[in-house]
Chain A
Amino acid sequence: MNIESLIFYGVPIYLIFMGILVVLTTKNLFKMLLGLSLMDSGINVLIVALGYVKGGTTPIFSEYPKIYEKVVDPVPPALVLTAIVIGLAFLGLGLSIAIRIKEKYGTVNVEKLKELKW
């Protein structure tokens, strides 16, 4: 367990757990959505870290491609772009629903949403 892998895998996992912790402990719907967004970011960072190759450079071939050079895996960063956009769409929708809740209930406290039980 060297310090590099600790940073690469520890930080995103910490972010994910912090996001889940925020979702579980807060009563404010707005903060809950921020926690979900934090968790999304943590997962995106973790995915980029999964594609890292030790000592690798960016996977861009210049005019004379040096095949023997190590490059990092290009697939995860490319797909994380898609995941980031999806997260943005989710956050926008969630905030719009939160605004509606504020209109109807007069509060964004989740404990007050007690219309439906069992």
Chain B
Amino acid sequence: MVNPILIIAFLLLFAFLMPLLALLHKRLPSVVALLLPAFNLYVGVTYFLKMEFIPLIIKTGGFRPPFGINLAIDHFSLFFLILVNVVALFIAFSYLLEEQDYKFHMLFLLNLLGASGIILTGDLFNSFVFLEIFAISAYALAASKREKHALEGAVKYLVVGSIGSSFYLLGVFLLYKVTGSLNMAFIASSLQGEKSGIVYLAGMFMLFGLFVETELFPLNTWAPDVYQGAYNRIAAQFSSIISKAAIYLMFRIVFFLFDDPLFYKLLIVMGIITFVIAEFNALVQKDLKRMLGYSSIGQMGLAVLAFALYGITSHPEAFFTALLLVVNHAISKAMIFTNLENMPEYAQVDTGKANPFSSLMFTVGALSVMGFPFTLGFWAKIEVLGILLRSNILWLFFLILILFMVEAFYYFRVISNLMRSEVVSVKLNPLLTVSLVVFALFLLYQGFYPVQTFIWTNKALNAFLNKAIYISTITGGL
């Protein structure tokens, strides 16, 4: 059993060792960028399988909470750590043979550090610091392709993201002023019961900051531009690592700290608006990557909507669905975006040339995003509709059903064009082929027999819903 703090330490160490490693050998940085996610994955999986039900506290600097910074690790955070690092491993493995600058791997590792730190930390200010590491490396990654589109997307993202992060910091300190602590569990225990108005203000500021990274409605104008402009691997990272770590923080804050109907109602409204606008925008896109970017925004809106439905109706299945949607979206979108490397001549939605293998991989990923039967996405999407029926929210049920049809329409349009497109031979990258096939088989196998995914998601869900155990474990150390 390795100490989980080594995850953060190793990522930080090797990210800044990259220039020296590049001097030693040209290929060393990409190998290191592959080994570190693998190490994180090893730590995450061993803890996930061996850990008790009570959360684990990692003290730093010998301080007991609430003093100092502590890592608070339960099954829920480990679940997200595994998810993020699986995708990171997938991306690093796929591009192992490519010639790339070491700065690229440096930013990749810093971004992974930010994501892992957000997921593991139990301290609010520390979560802000990791959020900033993660956001600043994301701005740099978005601008790394030195072309007009990428730079324009990066500038929009930079301005919006900076305002959001500043307001997140302000929200953290307003909470500190009210509760006198920065530790999440202590804040949660002191916020139970009546809340003053300033707590709501702080929550609004923090959500405002998180809306940027989770790509929710008022603050997601940067997202399609970044998806269209950036490299394929960075688009995959935005879709599967960055937004997933941010949505983890949103779940934590809204459920653990506030747990208030006002925030759930806000999230429901914003989730619906996001989903509607994103799907109808994706329908009229000409550019394939921009269409996929809008689809990503829509999926994030749907996941937030499912989570907020849990807050309103108290059906644990709704939260289970949100987790399933997050997993399905992370894996299928990473597949689709990295697969675009094999489709260089298919940039538009309705014209282009492609080769059979990449068309097949695109089809599997797209079917899973849509929630077609016999893919993992089916279980998530059918659950959303089932919950809406069980809670008797019929207007929302029909709205979501129509939007699923819209989604199916624009994906099937691309798929049918791929079927009829001219065959062109592309030199396939062998490692990318292997990783794509592994992910595709995972999606299909879990679609037929989803027991393993359900068990792991349930473990995470139980850890998350037992707020009382989390709080008493951390605050009981005094």
Residues of A within 8 A of B (CB): 20, 23, 29, 32, 36, 39-40, 43, 46-47, 50, 75-76, 79, 82-83, 86, 89-90, 93-94, 97-98, 100-101, 104-105, 110, 113, 115-116, 118
- Who on chain B is nearest to A39 by CB? B166
User: Interface SS of chain A: helix, strand, loop or mixed?
Assistant: helix
Residue pair B140, A23 in contact (C-beta under 8 Å): no
Q: How far is the CA of A46 from the CA of B173 in the complex (A)?
A: 9
With A86-B132, A116-B225 in contact, do A94 and B149 touch (Cβ < 8 Å)?
no
> Quick check: A39 and B152 within 8 Å, CB to CB?
no
Question: What residues of chain A lie closer than 8 Å to B146, measured between beta carbons?
Answer: 100, 104
A116 engages B169 (CB within 8 Å): no
Pair B173/A50 contact, Cβ less than 8 Å: yes
B152 near A115 (CB under 8 angstroms)?
yes
Q: Is the CB of B148 within 8 A of A104?
A: yes
Q: Establish whether residues A97 and B158, one from each chain, have CB atoms under 8 Å apart when the complex forms.
A: yes
User: Which of chain B's residues has its CB closest to A48's CB?
Assistant: B173
Task: List 17 other contacts, CB 8 Å, given A23-B159, A32-B159, A94-B158.
Answer: A29-B155, A39-B163, A39-B166, A40-B166, A47-B169, A75-B182, A76-B173, A79-B125, A86-B136, A90-B162, A93-B140, A93-B158, A101-B151, A101-B152, A105-B148, A115-B148, A116-B224
- B125 — nearest CB in chain A belongs to which residue? A79
Chain B residues within an 8 Å CB radius of A113: 152, 155
Q: How many angstroms between the C-alpha atoms of A82 and B153 in the bound complex?
A: 27
Q: Which of B92-114 contact A (CB under 8 A)?
A: none
Task: Find out whether the CB atom of A93 lies under 8 angstroms from the CB atom of B281.
Answer: no
Q: Which residues of A contact B154 (CB under 8 A)?
A: 97
Which residues of the partner chain B approach A93 to less than 8 Å between Cβ atoms? 136, 139-140, 158
A118 touches B147 (CB 8 A): no
Say whether B359 faces chain A, with CB atoms less than 8 Å apart: no
Q: Mostly helix, strand, loop or mixed at chain B's interface?
A: helix
Residues of chain B contacted by A50 (CB below 8 angstroms): 173-174, 176-177
B28 lies within 8 A of chain A by Cβ: no
Bound form: Cα–Cα A97–B174 in Å:
32
Q: A residues within 8 A CB of B129?
A: 82, 86
Chain A residues in 8 Å Cβ range of B174: 50
A residues within 8 A CB of B284?
Answer: 118
Which B residues touch A47, using CB under 8 A? 169-170, 173
Given the interface pairs A29-B155, A36-B159, A39-B163, the reply to whether A115 lies near B173 with Cβ below 8 Å is no
Q: Are B228 and A116 in contact, CB atoms less than 8 angstroms apart?
A: yes
Q: Does B65 contact A (CB under 8 A)?
A: no
* Chain B: CB-nearest residue to A82: B129
Residues of chain B within 8 A of A40, CB atoms compared: 162, 166
Query: Residue B143 at the A interface, CB < 8 A?
Result: yes
Among B139, B166, B177, the one with the most A-chain Cβ atoms within 10 Å of its Cβ is B166
List residues of chain A with CB within 8 A of the CB of B44: none
Pairwise interchain contact A97-B151, C-beta atoms closer than 8 A: yes
Cα separation A110 to B152 with both chains bound (whole Å): 9
How distant is A107 from chain B, measured CB to nearest CB, in Å? 12
Partner of A115, one of B143, B149, B159: B149
Residues of chain B within 8 A of A76, CB atoms compared:
173, 176
A-B contact pairs, 9 of them (CB 8 A): A32-B159, A39-B166, A43-B166, A43-B170, A46-B170, A76-B173, A76-B176, A94-B139, A94-B158
| A100 engages B151 (CB within 8 Å) | yes
Residue B229 interfacial (CB < 8 Å): yes
A50 to B175, CA, bound (A): 11
* Chain A, Cβ-Cβ closest to B226: A116
Closest Cβ–Cβ distance, residue A83 to chain B (whole Å): 6
